[in-house]
Amino acid sequence: MTNHTQQLKQYDKTHVWHPFTQMKHYINEDPLVIERGEGSYLFDIEGNKYLDGYASLWVNVHGHNDSELNQAIHNQIETISHSTLLGSANVPSILLAKALADITPGDLSKVFYSDTGAAAVEIALKIAYQYWKNIDPVKYAEKNTFISLKEAYHGDTVGAVSVGGMALYHRIFHPLLFDRIETSAPYPYRMDGTPEEISARCLDNLESLLKQHHHKVAGLIIEPLVQGAAGIIVHPEGFLKGVARLCKKYNVLLICDEVAVGFGRTGSLFASEQEEAEPDLLCLGKGITGGYLPLAATLASEKVYSAFLGEASEDKTFYHGHTYTGNQLACSAALKNIELIRERQLIQDIQRKALVAARELEKLKGLAAVGDVRQKGLMIGIEIVKDQKTKALFPRDMQIEHQIILDARKRGVIVRPLGPVITIMPILAMPDEHLIEIIDTVHRAIKAVTEG
Ligand SMILES: *Cc1c(COP(=O)(O)O)cnc(C)c1O
């Protein structure tokens, strides 16, 4: 290790507070410091290369250092990097809004920009809440709460955590959070019955909640098709469609959080399309710029938007904004990302590769420690268990999943655990052989760690 490398690692341990990380343990480990990326690969400062099996936290679409995406950002830098959307407009944010309105499902036609998925969610929640107040503050005086799913994840700001359902992130902040109503989520591996029965049960639960509480509910927020952070929990077919139907029936706004599943991840450009769900509000983030720059967007339907129109004195204005809203560099990257997805026929390619992945994943089912293998498009979760029959987990202190991902890293593949689940989130444009290598490496790592 050179002095420079050593010094960087030391500064990292001394000064950088990493997200979701127990720093007491982190500073005793050898940090992975990424220096550059190329296609499917990440390179660290010591020159080691790794296949990026988590798409750099679920964001990367076309691979690292893509010359066309780079060029689009360069071109924009040479023009202007940032001006504000408060009181003025800018070219890339206009063109991107038009493109998003064209490609998103239903009649979503209004785009509110922000820079991180959690903010896109906060904005959707505030719009949904104010929508009812703008329409009729007396009639809808009580529509002040939200329904979300058990184990839901919608980001880490206080409002987004409020509609989250993961106890681990919730517990400590509980006094700061607003109330929500929790509805059950279909998790076939750990529930009794067929997926159809489980889905029907969950929808019954939702309907009885709505029957009782709809006058208090402004909106329902859901991660369509797959609950990502909960451990890649794939919902049975028809569940989203049922949820959308119930929202309509009980006059509750449907908010689809496609921050993780949007932009091709599940095999269609947007996950909501697969069940013809037409959200009133849609949250986008992560893959929107191809994973190059931070950007998020909240889309609203014509119906929602029009409730905010009125005379200045009526106070129907949406009082919300962020300093970097509509940033030109980020919007240019997003525009190019959308263009390249179309040009490179990426959606068809993802559908084909999902089948390649499914075939490879079959081999993992032979391992004693693999309880469940879940997949939707190029979103993969492998639930690790101590006992396949009882589905019991390994003791938490063993950190078995952490050992597995470290073993995979030694073999040149980066993947991440979510609780007891090893997740594989390949770069969407990754060639077949890299995808196969990642799955094969995870197979070896699980075997090495759990079978010795
Ligand atoms: C990642 C994620 C978010 C939060 O996005 P950030 O950019 O991390 O704020 C929100 N919702 C879902 C479903 C996510 O996966």
| pLDDT of 32 higher than 90 | yes
Dist. CA 125 → ligand 1 center (Å): 14
Q: How many CB atoms lie within 10 A of CB 325?
A: 18
Q: How many CB atoms lie within 10 A of CB 336?
A: 25
Dist. CA 168 → ligand 1 center (Å): 16
Residues 340, 68: contact at Cβ < 8 Å?
yes
Q: How many CB atoms lie within 10 A of CB 188?
A: 19
For the chain, give the number of residues.
Answer: 452
| pLDDT of 28 higher than 80 | yes
Condensed to tens digits (0 to 9), the pLDDT of residues 231-276 reads 999 999 999 999 999 999 999 999 999 999 999 999 999 999 999 9
Mutate to test the pocket of ligand 1, among 57, 255, 259, 418 (most ligand atoms within 8 A of CB): 259
> Model-level pTM?
0.98
- Distance between CA atoms of 286 and 266, rounded to whole angstroms? 14
257 is in an annotated binding site: yes
Confidence of residue 452 (pLDDT cuts 50, 70, 90): confident
| pLDDT above 70 coverage of the chain, percent | 100
281-284 and 296-301: which strand pairing?
Answer: antiparallel
Closest residue by CA, ligand 1 atom 5: 117
CA of 157, closest atom in ligand 1: 9
Residues 120, 296: contact at Cβ < 8 Å?
yes
Mean pLDDT of 287-312: 97
Condensed to tens digits (0 to 9), the pLDDT of residues 211-236 reads 999 999 999 999 999 999 999 999 99
| pLDDT of 37 higher than 90 | yes
Starting at the edge strand found earlier in the chain, the sheet holding 49-52 runs 34-38, 41-44, 49-52, 413-414
267 is in an annotated binding site: no
Confidence of residue 305 (pLDDT cuts 50, 70, 90): very high
pLDDT at site 290: 98
pLDDT at site 111: 98
Confidence of residue 166 (pLDDT cuts 50, 70, 90): confident
- Distance between CA atoms of 248 and 428, rounded to whole angstroms? 33
Condensed to tens digits (0 to 9), the pLDDT of residues 101-147 reads 999 999 999 999 999 999 999 999 999 999 999 999 999 999 999 99
Helix 328-343 and helix 67-77: axis angle, to 10°?
150
Domains detected in the chain = 32-62+345-451 (3.90.1150.10), 71-343 (3.40.640.10)
Average pLDDT, rounded, for the chain: 97
5 is in an annotated binding site: no
pLDDT at site 289: 98
Confidence of residue 168 (pLDDT cuts 50, 70, 90): confident
As separate numbers, helices (DSSP H) first and strands (DSSP E) second, the chain gives 15, 17
| pLDDT of 1 higher than 80 | no
Dist. CA 234 → ligand 1 center (Å): 17
Pocket of ligand 1, beta carbon within 6 A: 116-118, 121, 153-155, 223, 228-229, 257, 259-260, 285-286
The residue type of 161 is V
Condensed to tens digits (0 to 9), the pLDDT of residues 390-434 reads 999 999 989 999 999 999 999 999 999 999 999 999 999 999 999
Q: In 3D, which of 284, 140, 264 has the Cα closest to residue 214?
A: 140
Please name every residue paired with 299 in a beta bridge, in sequence order, or none if there are none: 111, 282
Q: What DSSP element (H or E) covers 184? A: none
Mutate to test the pocket of ligand 1, among 58, 114, 154 (most ligand atoms within 8 A of CB): 154
